[in-house]
Amino acid sequence: MKLTAEAESWPIAGTFTISRGSRTRAEPVVVTLTDGQHSGRGECVPYARYGETVESVLGQIESQRGALEGDQLDREGLQAALPAGAARNALDCAFWDLEAKRSGQPVWRLAGLPAPAPVTTAYTLSLDTPERMGRQAAANATRPLLKLKLTGPEDLERVRAVRANALAATIVVDANEGWTVEHYNELAPALRDLGVAMIEQPFTATQDEVLHDLDRPVPLCADESCHDTETLAGLVGKYDIVNLKLDKTGGLTEGLKLKVAAAELGLDLMVGCMVATSLAMAPAVLLAQGAKLVDLDGPLLLARDREHGLRFEGSTVHPPVPELWG
């Protein structure tokens, strides 16, 4: 086995802003595993919120080189060799892709899943002034599902501006841990009245115990509070939905387990993404089958995507072709 891991940089179309800051480029890490005849790829996005950098993720991947190139590590062994996170995600998805290429069978069949169908993704409106977010909404008013990045002050005005310019769209909002309890108590009933379908991660993951004591007029989704299956039990009674992201679960292998475990606990599922190319989205399309909400618009936010990227028709995203992944 030969391992290659490389940092890449992809321009974002404009500037992408959330409550924690702005950026103009996506910085994924791509892993390739080659057995001399077949190759498999996986893509991850290191996230500073979880203490990750491009350098630290490359270092974690590099730590497995000896075991990989000595044929002493397989996909199942990887689950114990690295913690849940971006590095394990890239390696795990590369293993799945390699297995598919070796066997001539698609990943969905190898995983015992039904053939994937197209899904409808949310389209994210970057955090901005109410006026500019209203203009973003007008430009995307035909999309069925809009996701708004919020931060606290002026959020109600932001949502009102979007609703006025996208009357038919379903709206979900994401605070990225940016609200206080006072913001929540003021905003949640008003957002319900505006037809908002979901509020994502209003408080920091370390301070969300307060949700046990608060009304939920709008369904709540855990993002930063939800990582792998071990984190699920602590979310019951606080959240209604969990956001499954491969960079948090550490790959498709754990993602498949989390999907099943969430359903058993009565938690609905949202399948989300970081801003990245279609290679990062491709495994998530398999998990998105039957999910309550899908947010796999990462490639739509880039100035360009990689070759053989996912096919988007408006907000409909089609399953990946083998030349991309799986």
Active-site residue set: 149, 245
Residue 87, token pair as written in the block: 């590095």
The SS3 call for residue 61 is helix
Q: State the Cα–Cα distance between residues 249 and 325, nearest whole angstrom.
A: 19
Closest CA to 247 of 24, 4, 38, 26: 26
- CB-based burial, 234-270: b 16+ in 10 Å, e otherwise: ebeebbbbbbbbbbbbbbbbbbbebbebbeeeebbbb
Instruction: Give me the residues paired with residue 170 across strands.
Output: 145
Residue 134, token pair as written in the block: 């209203």
Q: State the Cα–Cα distance between residues 65 and 267, nearest whole angstrom.
A: 37
Contacts of 139 (CB under 8 A, 6+ apart): none
Q: State the Cα–Cα distance between residues 129 and 49, nearest whole angstrom.
A: 24
